[in-house]
């Protein structure tokens, strides 16, 4: 989303594949503490990945990436 930004931000959502529930998130980068704190509310409330997908993110911000992640990485 922020293609011209030289700062790197790494982030990941941990999702239960069977229930679609978001179990946690990881973020390293500018403003990570502020962004992750707001995600904790959604996670504690039991939000699913679909809820994240249906959410419109504030553009342009790094936080927007959490609601536009589409490619799962299975391990």
**Catalytic one of 46, 59, 60, 68:** 59
Instruction: Answer whether 48's CB lies under 8 Å from 21's CB.
Output: yes
Distance CA 75, CA 54 (A): 25
Whether 59 is catalytic is yes
Query: Could you give the residue numbers annotated as active site?
Result: 59
């Amino acid at each position: 989303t922020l293609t011209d930004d030289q700062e790197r931000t790494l982030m990941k959502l941990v999702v239960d594949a069977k229930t679609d529930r978001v179990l946690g998130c990881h973020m390293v980068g500018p403003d990570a503490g502020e962004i992750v704190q707001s995600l904790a509310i959604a996670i504690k409330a039991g939000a699913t990945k679909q809820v994240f997908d249906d959410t419109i993110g504030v553009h342009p911000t790094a936080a927007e990436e959490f609601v536009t992640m589409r490619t799962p990485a299975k391990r």
